Chain A
Amino acid sequence: GQQVMQIPQYQHVQEGEDFTTYCNSSTTLSNIQWYKQRPGGHPVFLIQLVKSGEVKKQKRLTFQFGEAKKNSSLHITATQTTDVGTYFCALRRSNTGKLIFGQGTTLQVKP
């Protein structure tokens, strides 16, 4: 079945450093979503990517969808302590209501 690999599992950075998490799929994706979960909280939707090669920005966050639509990345520029949390990618299995989440990347930011 359709699988998604997310790396790295953990990342510790100094405040001000950049951070990137990657999602990779063995099959072509129709779209991909990104969520953030703060410690002790619930996942919160960040963005959805649909088009091949799409790049979207939200302040210091940059989301990319690969040209082949098999991978995606989330890049945070100049991390802040408010960026701490776990970032998940998610995709929907074609023509079904099934949603698959990546394992998540947990970001720790040292002030």
Chain B
Amino acid sequence: EAQVTQNPRYLITVTGKKLTVTCSQNMNHEYMSWYRQDPGLGLRQIYYSMNVEVTDKGDVPEGYKVSRKEKRNFPLILESPSPNQTSLYFCASSFSWDRVNEQFFGPGTRLTVL
């Protein structure tokens, strides 16, 4: 089944404790992206990757890191989480970046930073 998976789905952590949210897709998509969703603000792009080893900042990259060593995986790293990073996070992928086409979203990761 074609899908985007994220782990963990729920996470409660404390300020400053490094964490990684994994994202994987099995559709051989070139483009992958991370978003955070906060009430009243919609979806805001954190980072995106147009292909392996190619990543770039979205609108809200501060406090986050990403890597794209393999086509299927695009982990989101919070080196030192803070309470303002409490949010719902979505990973998404699409076939390519230069032809706008539908993005497939993962199920989301609800992160709480105390």
Using a CB–CB distance below 8 Å, which chain A residues touch chain B?
6, 9, 30-31, 33, 35, 42-45, 48, 88, 90, 92, 96-104
Taken together as a complex, chains A and B put the C-alpha atoms of A98 and B59 apart, in Å, by 8
Given A101-B43, A103-B42, verify A48-B48 contact (CB < 8 Å): no
Contact A104 B42 (CB under 8 A): yes
Asked if B24 is an interface residue, CB under 8 A from chain A, the answer is no
Taken together as a complex, chains A and B put the C-alpha atoms of A43 and B45 apart, in Å, by 14
Given A31-B100, A97-B97, A98-B48, verify A43-B105 contact (CB < 8 Å): yes
Taken together as a complex, chains A and B put the C-alpha atoms of A98 and B107 apart, in Å, by 21
Given A42-B108, A100-B45, verify A33-B102 contact (CB < 8 Å): yes
Name the one of A48, A88, A104 contacting B100, with C-beta atoms under 8 angstroms: A48
Asked if B74 is an interface residue, CB under 8 A from chain A, the answer is no
**Interface size range on B against A:** 20 to 34
Taken together as a complex, chains A and B put the C-alpha atoms of A16 and B58 apart, in Å, by 39
Contact A101 B90 (CB under 8 A): no
Taken together as a complex, chains A and B put the C-alpha atoms of A44 and B105 apart, in Å, by 7
Hey, which chain A residues are within 8 Å of B106, CB to CB? 42
Contact B42 A88 (CB under 8 A): yes
Contact A100 B59 (CB under 8 A): yes
Given A42-B90, A48-B100, A103-B40, verify A98-B105 contact (CB < 8 Å): no
B47 to chain A, nearest CB (A): 10
Asked if B101 is an interface residue, CB under 8 A from chain A, the answer is yes
Contact B100 A45 (CB under 8 A): no
Contact A99 B48 (CB under 8 A): yes
Hey, which chain B residues are within 8 Å of A99, CB to CB? 33, 45, 48, 58, 103
Taken together as a complex, chains A and B put the C-alpha atoms of A100 and B49 apart, in Å, by 15
Contact B97 A43 (CB under 8 A): no
B9 to chain A, nearest CB (A): 11
Taken together as a complex, chains A and B put the C-alpha atoms of A30 and B104 apart, in Å, by 21
Taken together as a complex, chains A and B put the C-alpha atoms of A44 and B59 apart, in Å, by 21
B7 to chain A, nearest CB (A): 14
